[in-house]
Structure 1
Amino acid sequence: MVRLLVKSPKPLSILSGVSGWFWLYVGLILLGAYLLYAAIVPTYKSPNSRLWSSAMGYPAMLRKMNAEIPVETALPSQREMVKTVSAAGEIGFLHEVPINIEVASIVTDVYVESGAKIKVGDLLLRLDNGGSPTRLARLDVEDKRNAYEKARRDYLREKEAFKSGIIAQTDLAQYEADMNQARIELNKAQESLSQSFESRSKNIFGDAKQSSRGAKTDILSPIDGEVVQVATYAGENILGPKNGLMSLGDTLMFKASVDQRYFSTIQAGNRAEVYLQAYPDKPFAAKVIKIDNFIAVAGKADATVPYTFNVWLELEGVPTESIPLARGMNGYCRFDYPFQALAIPEKALLNYSGQRGVVMTVNAERRLELKQVTYSASMDGMVAISSGLGERERVVLSGQVGLQSGDKVKFEE
C-alpha cells in the first residue's frame, strides 16, 4: 500500500516578510500624530498662541466656517474696593515766621541757635540802632516839608494864572489836590518822627520791646516752636532793611504734594499712613490738618511739584526721643478710601488710560460687542467700573486681540 504524502502550503499573510524597520516607522508616525493632537492642537486653540490673532489663527478659521468661537467670560460683581491715593512729601513746619528788621542796626547779641526750642516771649536777639530811626524820621519830615512847600508855591502861582484866565478851573483844582496830598504826607512823617523809637518789629510780632537803654531793641519770639535758621551773628552791621535774620517754625508735620485729580477727594480729618525714608520699616498714623486751596502751577516759585496741592498731615505719637523728626525728611503718604462698586477682572479691560477703557461683551444673541467704560480703582486683580457696563453684561477675559465685534461665540455659564 502506497501512501502519498502531500505537504500542505503555509498560510499567506500580508505581514509576512515585513522587517522591524517598518514597525519602527509606523510607531514614530503614530507618536507624531498623538503629539500633534495632544500638544500642538491645544496650543493652536489657545488665546496665548502666537497664531491666535493671525489670519491662520483659530478664531479666523472658525469665523470662515461660520462656527462659534469658544471664549472665556465672566459676569461683573458687586465688591468692596479701595481707592488708594499716594503722594510724595517731606517733613516741614506748618508755619514758618521770618524775623525781619527795617532800620539800620548792629546785632549786639544772639541768644538762640538753630534747633533750639522756644516759647512765646523768649529773647531771640538784641539790636542797637544807634538812634537810626530818629535820624531817618527827621530826614523824611524834611523831605515831605520840601515837597509840601513846592506844591503850595505851585498852587499859589497857578491860582494867579487862573484869575488872569490863562488856565482852566480844572487845572487849578488838580494843583490844589496835589498841595493837599503833600500836606497829608507831611503830617504822616511828623507823626512817625514822634514814634521814631518804636520799631516796626513791634507792629509785626507784638513782642519787640524798647528798653530804657535808649536805642537798643529786644526781639522776642512771637510763637512756641523751634528756631529753624539763624542767618545773623553778634556784631553784624546791618546797613538797611533786611529780611530773614532768623526764621522760626511752630509744629513739624508731613507736607504732601497731591495730584490735582484728588482735590475733591481728600478732606480735613482724613486718616492716612506716612512712610519716611529715615524709618523705612515703620508706618506712622497721620491725620489731615490743613489743605491748601490752590494748585501749584509750573513756572511759579511755589510750584515744587507742578499741578499739585499741598496737604499737611499731623503724625501721631512723634517726634519722641527714640524717633526724632527733622525738617526735610522725605517719604510718601497713602490714603485708603473703601467703597462698593461693580467690578470686573483687570484682564477684561482694554486700551485703558486716564480712567477710561474698552471691554468686549457678549450680547443676548451671543455675539461680541465693544463698549466704552470708565473705571476708578483696581485691587487684587479687579477693576471698579464707574459707568458703561451693566451687572448682567458678560465680559470676555482673554483672546480679545484675535476677536472681532459681531463674532458668534460660545462660553461656559
Structure 2
Amino acid sequence: MKRFVLLLLVAGLAGGGYYGYRHYYNGGEPARASAPAGPRTVPVEVAAVEVMTVNEEVEALGTLAADESIVIAPEIAGRVVALGFREGERVKAGQELVKLDTAILDAELKQAMADLGLARDTNDRLKGLVSRGSGTQVALDESAARLASSEARVQLAKAKLAQSTLVAPFNGVVGLRSVGIGDYVSVGKQLITLTNIDPIKIDFRVPEIYLSRVKVGQPVQVRVDAAPDKPFAGKIFAIDPVVDVNGRAIRLRATVPNPDLALKPGLFARLSIIVDQRENAIVVPEMAVVPDGIGKMIYVAENGKARRVPVELGKRLPGKVEVVGGLKPGMQIVTAGQMRLRDGAAIAIKDAIVRTSQL
C-alpha cells in the first residue's frame, strides 16, 4: 500500500511539471500573455478659447456730495407771512420760498417816493431861478444833493422790499424747515436748506501711478450700499492739479445723473474707472490654468494629444482669466483632467465620447 501511494505521488508531480512546462515556457523562455494594446488615453474635458473685450479698471472709494447746497436765511428782520414750499420737495430757480410781512417796508417806500418827488420839484424850480438870475448856485447845489439822497432812499426801500421775499437761486430740493408762519425771524437766521443733487458729485482718490491714465470726461461706474444691485454711471468732472503728498494720490471729482434722487449726499460709494480697454482679448476658464515650477501653463488639445503651452496671464475675471501670451483664437484647451496629463499624452475628449454614444 505504501508503495502504491508513493507511486501516485510521483505520477502527480511529473504531470504537474509537464503542464507547467507546456503553458509557461516556450523553448526555454517565459511565454508572453499578450501584446500591448497601444498607448493609454486620458479622458479630459475641453473648451474653446474665448475672444472678448477686457476692461482694465481701477477701484476707488468716495463720498457723495451735493452739486450745490446753501442755507436760506433772511437779510432783514421780519415776520413770516407765507411759505411757498413743502419739506423735501423739488423747487425751481426763482420760486418763492419764504415771504415776510411788508407793511412797514411799503410805508417806507411810499415816504421815500414822496420825498423824492418833492426834492425833484424843488430842484427843477431852483434850476429855473438860476437860469433867470434870481437864484443862487449854492441853493441849487444843495437841492441837487437832497434829490440824490432821496433817490438813494427810494432805492434802499425797494431793496429792502425785495429782500422780504426769499426765492430759490437754483433748482433743487428743500430740506426740513425750522420756521413757521407767524414766526419773527432775525437777520441771518437759518430757515431751510436748498440742495441740488441732480447731478450729484463724488469726491475720490486714486494712486498717483494712474495720473496719465485718468482724464476729464472718463466714464465711471458707481455702487452704493444703499442700492447694492443698482449700478450708476457717471463721468470724471475735474482733476485736482495738485497731488496729495501725504497719500501720494490724485484727487478727482465725478458727477452722476440722479433724476430720481436715489443717491443722497453723504453716502459711501465704490467707484470703478476704466483706464484701458483691450479688444479681442483671449480669455479662458480659470480651471484650465495649471501652475508649474516657473509660471503658469495650459494644455492644448491637438490631434488627439495634449500639448503643454506656457502662458502669461492678465486680468482676472469672475471664473475666467485673460491670457496675454501663449494662446491663439480657435484653440481647444483642456479644462478638466489636466492634472493627469503630460506633454504629448494621448487624450480622449469626454464630450465627443458622449455624443458618439448618443448617436
Fold equivalence (TM over 0.5): no
TM-score range, shorter chain: 0.3 to 0.5
Q: State the structure with more CA Rg.
A: 2
Report the TM-score when normalising by structure 1: 0.36
Q: Larger strand proportion, structure 1 or 2?
A: 2
Report the TM-score when normalising by structure 2: 0.41
